[in-house]
Amino acid sequence: MTAATPDADKAPASLQSPARSNWAVFNVAAVLSAMILGLAWAACSDDDSPSDHNDAGRLDAASDVDSSQRGGLGQPCYDDGTCDDGLVCGEANLCITPTDPCQEVDCSGHGTCSVSNDEAVCACEEGYRAEGLTCIPDVPAIGDEGPDGRYLVWNEEFNEDELDMDTWTVGKGLHYLGREAYATGRPENLRVVDGHLEIIAIHEDYEDKHYTTSGITTKNAQYWQYGRFEARMWIPMATGCWPAFWLMPENAIYGPGPPRGNNWPRNGEIDIMEAISQYPQRVWGTIHYVENDEGAHVGGHMDYDPGLDDGYHIYSVVWTESEVIWYFDNEEYARADAGTPRDGILTFHQPFYILLNLALGQPWAESPVASEYPQTMLVDWVRVWQ
């Protein structure tokens, strides 16, 4: 990153070098003449005071430049640091043509440069903040207070070069990534690039499937009971896509039970965001549980007219002892009871971990169409506030 402050380095080369070499030649001449004058003065003067020697022998050549040779293009600046009209004093104390302050300022590719009071200023895009003439990810620190009065307890910004494997487990071959795709942790399917996670679904034969994809979870590493859970994601909606951001119980404290003698959905599931390609404008939020010995669910959805794949959006829930509330870009669109026992248990009163994945095809999405792949799901960050 190059600062836009006008300086000699930015003066056109055709002006810069000759000006410097002429000045150097002039310097030598000035120094020599000053020394000769000084010697002559010392030889002729009766006054031998040290101060007079200092004045006469001074090698500060700049002070000896005639003002008629200052202030012009390529000439030394005036003593007060100014130059003739239309010129500015550069860092080498030479007068140069002022440059556009925004020249060479790209705001890290995440903002636009404008000039304010003759200085470059970066206006950064959403999710970034200006630091000098760069735009850096707008990352909260643990303990920071969030917009709804909760405090940040955990975040993943995907700003490192690689996925943090102490936190994330890669969901290899897991059934929940759709029946038509095999999930791998290969960099073709899962990587961290430029501050975000990429989950890439590819049309290729792999194991017993015709597509590959990926998904990650914080199981065994990070889990929470209650809070605001949010992720900034750009999801694909090509035929067959079924992206999801969801929570599952870390310990399944209620153990197996009806309707199928296993932990699910007896111990609950909180779907913060699900979308399927048949409804490219629709985001769903759902909780799953058991009621009357049957699997049951409740939640809601909303439609976003341009379509969910038009860019980044923030998907969140606020989960408390009494309810789960869903948000799309911080707009509430559904809420569900989480504080009333169902079949005698409080399903959502236990810690849950995070899952992020791009499932494909059946059983909920339509089958993928090969010509539409690869497809990429981007996750800029995931944050938990309590």
The catalytic residue positions are: 269, 274
> For the chain, give me the number of helices (H) and strands (E)?
2, 23
Is residue 158 a contact point for Ca ion (CB under 5 A)?
yes
Report the residue number, 195 or 227, with the smaller CB distance to Ca ion. 195
Report the residue number, 138 or 204, with the smaller CB distance to Ca ion. 138
Tell the smallest beta-carbon distance from residue 378 to Ca ion (Å).
Answer: 9
Size of the site for Ca ion (CB under 5 A): 6
Beta bridge partners of 233: 313, 379
Which residue stretch of 23-31, 38-46, 195-203, 357-365 sits at the interface with Ca ion (rule: CB under 5 A)?
195-203
- By CB under 5 A, the residues from 70 to 89 that bind Ca ion are none
CA dihedral of residues 63, 66, 70, 74 (deg, nearest 10): -90
Alpha-carbon distance of 219 to 165, in angstroms, equals: 11
Beta bridge partners of 229: 317, 384
Alpha-carbon distance of 306 to 115, in angstroms, equals: 34
Is residue 234 a contact point for Ca ion (CB under 5 A)?
no
Q: How many CB atoms lie within 10 A of CB 324?
A: 26
Tell the smallest beta-carbon distance from residue 195 to Ca ion (Å).
Answer: 4
- The 345-384 site mask, x for binding Ca ion (CB under 5 A), equals -----------------------------------xx---
- Of 384, 386, 351, nearest to 223 by C-alpha is 351
Find the helix packing angle between 13-44 and 50-57, rounded to 10°: 150
Is residue 157 a contact point for Ca ion (CB under 5 A)?
yes
Sheet arrangement for strand 294-303: 169-170, 215-217, 352-360, 241-249, 269-274, 282-291, 294-303
> Per the structure block, which two tokens stand in for 278?
């048949």
Q: What is the CA radius of gyration of the chain?
A: 33
Report the residue number, 373 or 381, with the smaller CB distance to Ca ion. 381
**90, 195, 236, 361: residue in contact with Ca ion (rule CB under 5 A):** 195
Residue type, 378: L
Alpha-carbon distance of 157 to 12, in angstroms, equals: 42
Residue in the shown chain whose Cβ atom is closest to Ca ion: 195
Report the residue number, 158 or 254, with the smaller CB distance to Ca ion. 158
Token look-up 């080369």 returns 13
User: What contacts 133, CB < 8 A, 6 or more positions away?
Assistant: 1, 3, 4, 105, 107, 113, 120, 122
CB burial of residue 51 (10 Å; 0-12, 13-18, 19+): exposed
Interface residues toward Ca ion, by CB under 5 A = 157-158, 195-196, 380-381
